[in-house]
Amino acid sequence: MNKLLCLCLLFSFSAMAADGSNFNILPGKLHTGGTFFATIKSISDAKQTMTINLKYDIDKKRLVPVPKEYLKGEISQAIPLEYIDERGYLNLEVAKTKDFADAKAVYLGRVDVGEYRNSHHVNVIAKNGKSETELYFHPQAPGIGWVKVRMTVYPPLPILKNYTVVALLKK
């Protein structure tokens, strides 16, 4: 019975997230804006993970000498299945931190993001030292539930050192 309920929940949340979430990238120091799209690519019941696929396209400012491969692409990341809905964020709120294979999540509290009151604010720090991402999750947000994403990257290019990109859910 418990497995059946879990399977039903997975299918219902997968259907909601199948459309994904569209984001507008806000202008920054070296870019004028852009877009990114986040969706659940696959779910592994055996591993208790889901793979999130992120497609991004950043519009750089004129005369910024950054190669195109840094501005447009696709990233896939496996995350624990409990974050398919609010349960994982509520557990993290109690635990305050959680270690994963390639990252550490730190719960920063609840904040209002536009119309989404009491959104979960989580900082995800990559263990390889290449990025840090702040996610703002709300259970009523469409797609994967993120309403705002703030990512700081630490690439080898000096011009991009500690570069932050902020994206807001499209309405």
Q: For residue range 140-165, what is the model confidence (pLDDT) as tens digits? A: 999 999 999 998 888 777 766 788 89
Concatenating the DSSP letter of every residue in the chain gives: -HHHHHHHHHHHHHHHHHT-EEEEEPP-SSEEEEEEEEEEEEEETTTTEEEEEEEEEEEEPTT----GGGTEEEEEEEEEGGGGSHHHHHHHHHHSEEE-SSEEEEEEEEEEETTEEEEEEEEEEETTSSEEEEEEE-TTSSTTSEEEEEEEE--S-GGGTTEEEEEEE--
The whole-number pLDDT of residue 160 equals 66
Q: What is the mean pLDDT of the chain?
A: 84
> Does residue 93 or residue 51 have the better pLDDT?
93
The whole-number pLDDT of residue 65 equals 82
Q: For residue range 75-104, what is the model confidence (pLDDT) as tens digits? A: 888 888 899 999 999 999 999 999 988 889
The whole-number pLDDT of residue 71 equals 81
Question: Could you tell me the pLDDT band of residue 122, with boundaries at 50, 70 and 90?
Answer: very high
